[in-house]
Amino acid sequence: MGIDIAQKALAAGHFVVATGRNADRTLKAIGPHDNLLTVGLDVTDPKAAASAAQAAMDRIGRIDVLVNNAGNFQAGYFEEISDAEFRAQMETNFFGPLNVTRAILPIMRKQGGGQVITVTSTAALTGQEFCAAYAASKFAVEGWLESLRFDVAPYGISVMAVEPGYFRAELLVEGSSTIWPELSIEDYAERTAQTINALKGMNGQQGGDPEKLAAALVTLSDSGELPHRFVAGADAMAAVEGNLKTIQSQIDAQHALSASLAFDAPA
């Protein structure tokens, strides 16, 4: 998806600083362009994030849009995900965007504006089976962005979370972005095998077109009026709308009990 975003931004006339663990591989994937700079970046390394930001400033002198898109999928039922795997998921999907954004915000504040666009997931708004670590990391990103927008709005910086559904990207590619659970517990064995087979079968069959999503993000960015959220894809909208209805029904069902919890007025 990051490749598509870079290519669509270049096609729209923007200068792009594209990052990846291997700068040469990133350049090869996107294709050479006069307005493209590729920089090596491990998002879990704050020093690398600072170096990437400085490289962008050295080349173009300002940063108007930051797109946080790096991430992976630690699949599995909670008890089968080791502590190390769970922490690694948070390091990449949660602390990774924090590291990069922390390196960019001082630049945006100094120049008097900018945009922070962060790709999360439908799993950031509604939990799913086999997604305990992944959903936790994405929910954390949503909470951070929900508050960050208030912090930076006075400096002309806008914040948008992007919650895609299933897109035909590399998230479900084994050995690339998907990590199967390290532990094995007999009670979960049959369900784990069935779910892994189902996810493998989905790869390459997802309904969302990443090129169209990339074009939509460039359009939203260029509009100058970022929504706080962009729920991307018909499946994402259906999932979020269904979850909102469920939450509302839970509020309604316990409304009287919840409303009764205030201190009684003095006699």
Tell me the catalytic residues: 134
- 3-state DSSP call for residue 8? helix
Residues 6+ apart with CB under 8 A from 6: 16, 18, 30, 36
CA atoms of 31 and 164, how far apart (whole Å): 25
Both tokens of residue 15?
């200068």
Burial of residue 136, with CB atoms counted within 10 A of its CB: 0-12 exposed, 13-18 middle, 19 or more buried: buried
Q: Are strands 73-74 and 157-164 parallel, antiparallel or unpaired?
A: unpaired
> Mind giving me the DSSP string for 95-157?
IHHHHHHHHHHHHHHHHT-EEEEEE--GGGTS--TTBHHHHHHHHHHHHHHHHHHHHHGGGTE
Tell me how far CA of residue 30 lies from CA of 12, 115, 198, in angstroms: 15, 22, 30
Alpha helix (H) ranges present in 12-123?
23-30, 46-60, 83-90, 96-111
CB of 124 within 8 A of CB of 139? Answer: yes
